[in-house]
Amino acid sequence: MNKQIIFFEPKLAGSTFKMARALKLKNNYETILITFTKPNKQVAELAFDKILYLDIKLIPTPKNLFNIFRKFTKKDTYNFINSVKKLNPYIVQIRGGSLEVILFLLIFKRYPRIYYLQDIWQYYYKKIIFSLRKDTGILQPLNALISSIACKMVDGILNRSGENSLDHLKNELKLKTPILDFLPYCLDEWVLPIRKRAIKKSKEIHLVYAGTIWNKWKGHASFPDMIKRITNQNLHFHLYPSTKNEKLIDIFKNIEKKDNFFHLYNRVDEDKINEIIKNYDYALHLDFYDGTINSLWYATGMSAKIFGYIEAGLPIIINKQFKNMCNIIEENNIGFGINYKDLDNLNEKIYSHKHPSKMDFIKVRKKYGIDRNIIKLERFYDKIHEVGIKRVNKNKI
């Protein structure tokens, strides 16, 4: 009988999709997605044998509390709860920093549970008073609190951020929970043939960024300002935002009208984006910080974006302060790190950089392919299953 693995996702993340897809292809697992955000069913079914979706937001505002109460009286909620009750998981893997994380940890307390720590929110702010300012993202302290509680409740922690990134948190929370460092990795099915590139000074250079965008965000460099610094050098900047926020998109539409070197596109699903961006010259990972953000946040950060760029065969330009990510990029000769001031002479940096070879990409894709690394996750699941069953049996006594 196949081992049932449950993934709770507030919104399905690409890194979770890759895990579930790799497990499903093993034919030893039944993968189940539980989510409160409607997924792209056609894509999700490639990774999950069963999808349980409920349209609900557990945000404790006065207005939403009434909506939550009303939702629990409806038939689709009743059917959802009944479907969840029938599950018999080998492992329950839960991701997120919102209230539903605690809810599902309690619902599945009689089963082995893993918390997937995608972002280490406890590292974000130097001072809690800063986090309470309106322009900083006020939910982030709540994310950090819920994440800390979850780390103490579970039988195992799956850490996306890379080796040794949890050392500080382990000491702070006095964690003795088993931990596996497991990167977002590359999915073989999303890997594309490598295009031969030659960067000449007479050639127009086209850069691409796919992902999160913002206008003004306390602690972060302004995204429009970064665009201007780059396009002022006659470098083409192609942007594929992950958001559908119309007000935010309108800001970038206005920039495009005034800047012939800036090109804005519609959002593209994660399973299709590599094919769209594969022909650009370099991919960007843009985010720079001031001193209000804790350096642990960016030093340990690990974005799934860079593995998507590797799948697409694109050399990567990244902020040097992202030490874990920058090490992967530079040690494997597939790009280079920059400081914020380097944005003003990025063209010179590109021309002086030795372009990655085809063999560089073949090696890095093999090293960071999820098919090669999934065995580590399987062994971790087996270990945590034993730990979880012992805990459950002990609590019965």
Domain with 47 in it: what CATH number?
3.40.50.2000
Please indicate, yes or no, whether residues 319 and 241 belong to a single structural domain of this protein.
yes
- Classify residue 217 as exposed, middle or buried by CB count within 10 Å of its CB (0-12, 13-18, 19+): middle
Q: Compute CA 140 distance to the chain's CA centroid, rounded to the nearest angstrom.
A: 16
Please indicate, yes or no, whether residues 172 and 197 belong to a single structural domain of this protein.
no
Looking at residue 47, its pLDDT comes to: 97
Looking at residue 175, its pLDDT comes to: 83
H and E: helices and strands count for the chain: 17, 13
CB 358 within 8 A of CB 134: no
Looking at residue 132, its pLDDT comes to: 44
Please indicate, yes or no, whether residues 241 and 279 belong to a single structural domain of this protein.
yes
- Percentage of the chain beyond pLDDT 70 is 89
Owning domain of residue 192:
188-366
Return d(Cα 361, Cα 115) in angstroms, integer.
Answer: 32
Total residue length of the chain: 397
* pLDDT bracket for residue 216 (50, 70, 90): confident
Dihedral of the alpha carbons of 114, 120, 123, 124, in degrees to the nearest 10: -140
pLDDT tens per residue across span 156-180: 999 998 777 887 777 777 888 999 9
pTM score: 0.89
Please indicate, yes or no, whether residues 40 and 177 belong to a single structural domain of this protein.
yes
Which amino acid, one-letter code, is at 227?
A: I
* pLDDT bracket for residue 318 (50, 70, 90): very high
Distances (CA, A) of 378 to 31, 381, 384: 13, 5, 10
Return d(Cα 80, Cα 8) in angstroms, integer.
Answer: 13
Q: In what helix (H) or strand (E) does residue 319 lie, and over which residues does it extend?
A: strand 316-319
Please indicate, yes or no, whether residues 93 and 205 belong to a single structural domain of this protein.
no
Task: Say if residue 138's pLDDT is above 70.
Answer: no
Please indicate, yes or no, whether residues 172 and 215 belong to a single structural domain of this protein.
no
Please indicate, yes or no, whether residues 181 and 240 belong to a single structural domain of this protein.
no
Please indicate, yes or no, whether residues 203 and 264 belong to a single structural domain of this protein.
yes
Distances (CA, A) of 204 to 233, 257, 275, 361: 11, 20, 21, 23
* pLDDT bracket for residue 98 (50, 70, 90): confident
Please indicate, yes or no, whether residues 351 and 241 belong to a single structural domain of this protein.
yes
Enter the tokens of residue 115: 């918390």
Among 238, 363, 150, 231, residue whose Cα is nearest residue 159 = 150
Enter the tokens of residue 191: 């890997």
| Weakest mean pLDDT among 71-75, 228-232, 323-327 | 71-75
More confident residue, 395 or 335: 335
Please indicate, yes or no, whether residues 275 and 301 belong to a single structural domain of this protein.
yes
Please indicate, yes or no, whether residues 200 and 106 belong to a single structural domain of this protein.
no
Among 236, 233, 266, residue whose Cα is nearest residue 252 = 266
Please indicate, yes or no, whether residues 273 and 386 belong to a single structural domain of this protein.
no
CB 141 within 8 A of CB 163: no
Quote the number of domains for the chain. Answer: 2
What does the mean pLDDT of the chain come to? 87
Enter the tokens of residue 49: 């044998």
Looking at residue 187, its pLDDT comes to: 97
Looking at residue 127, its pLDDT comes to: 52
* pLDDT bracket for residue 336 (50, 70, 90): very high
* pLDDT bracket for residue 130 (50, 70, 90): very low
Neighbours of 308 (CB within 10 A): 22
